[in-house]
Amino acid sequence: MDKLLRGARELGITLKESHLALFQTYYEELVEWNRRFNLTAITDYEGVQVRHFLDSLSCLLVLPRAELQAGARVIDVGTGAGFPGLPLRIVCPGMRLTLLEATRKKVEFLEHITRKLGLRDVEIIWGRAEDLAHRPGYREAYDWALARALADMPTLVEYLLPFVRVRGAMLAQKGENAPAEVHSAEEAIRILGGEVRKLVPVGLHGLAETRYLVIVDKRASTPDKYPRRPGIPEKRPLGVPPIQLSRG
Ligand code: SAH
């Protein structure tokens, strides 16, 4: 637990005993469920503390904590076993959180773990971003849309920006390649009504590689036709020229 506690302190977050108890239960349940279904490749104690919990909490370097606490609406798209959404919700209980996940088994875990941790009013949805982002009550309804390890930037912005209200923002957790990825998504971001605000490099306690937090502001409403049908944003990323196949 030491790495999590110290790492959080370095991020300016003071974890209380009650938080640590919740993270301990989260860890135990994750490992237990992972014996039956593949939820995550990281299951060693330190790996989970740093690469899952601490990495999720690092979003608080840029998210406005006071606004989250005051009830900001946040959606975590492709949350998997709950990252980054649930660690953020543990530390900021006031935020109104939706978790969206396409795989049924992961949704079952999310339902179990939120119940076990007593995290009330977390909305858990089994579905795809390309469908949910067209539904009233979800489209352009969020102050923040978040994602980690979901897709390359040009695809990711088509998944996230439709959920964000005008003057809201999206936050993508990215690896070392973030600057080039953001560059490749410039056209997609423009089409979807976004504008890059900044890239923030993050060093995590006990982790050598640099991570990035990428913030894209929503400036204008996203045209109704986005996101395109399920699978299309990934197959034909917006604003990226298709690879020319030569006839052999
Ligand atoms: N965010 C988590 C999980 C990353 S793996 C983490 O960082 O640990 C990506 C997850 O997104 C998978 O669980 C997959 O089922 C889900 N997913 C992929 N495409 C999706 C889509 N279009 N809509 C919703 N979920 C999606």
pLDDT in tens, 2-50: 899 999 999 999 999 999 999 999 999 999 999 999 999 999 999 999 9
Distances (CA, A) of 105 to 42, 124, 144, 154, 190: 17, 12, 25, 27, 35
pLDDT confidence band for 1 (50 / 70 / 90): low
Tell whether 39 is covered by a domain.
no
Tell whether 51 is covered by a domain.
no
Task: State the distance from the centre of ligand 1 to the C-alpha of 141, rounded, in angstroms.
Answer: 20
Q: How many domains does the chain have?
A: 1
Q: What is the DSSP letter of 37?
A: S
Q: What is the mean pLDDT of residues 220-229?
A: 98
Dist. CA 223–CA 143, nearest whole Å:
18
pLDDT confidence band for 241 (50 / 70 / 90): confident
C-alpha atoms less than 13 angstroms from C-alpha of 208 in its C-beta half-sphere: 0
Tell me which residue has its CA closest to atom 24 in ligand 1.
128
Q: Of all atoms in ligand 1, which is nearest to the CA of residue 82?
A: 2
Task: State the distance from the centre of ligand 1 to the C-alpha of 247, rounded, in angstroms.
Answer: 35
Q: What is the DSSP letter of 61?
A: G
Q: Is the pLDDT of residue 244 over 90?
A: no
Instruction: Identify the weakest region by mean pLDDT among 130-139, 153-162, 237-246.
Output: 237-246
Q: Is the pLDDT of residue 111 over 60?
A: yes
Cis peptide before 233 (omega within 30 of 0): no
Tell whether 221 is covered by a domain.
yes
Regarding the beta carbon of 103 and ligand 1, being less than 6 Å apart is answered yes
201: domain CATH number is 3.40.50.150
Q: What is the pLDDT of residue 247?
A: 66
Find the length of the chain. 248
Over residues 186-222, the pLDDT tens digits come to 999 999 999 999 999 999 888 889 999 999 999 999 9
Name the residue of 101, 174, 213 to mutate for ligand 1: max ligand atoms within 8 A of Cβ. Answer: 101
Tell whether 13 is covered by a domain.
no
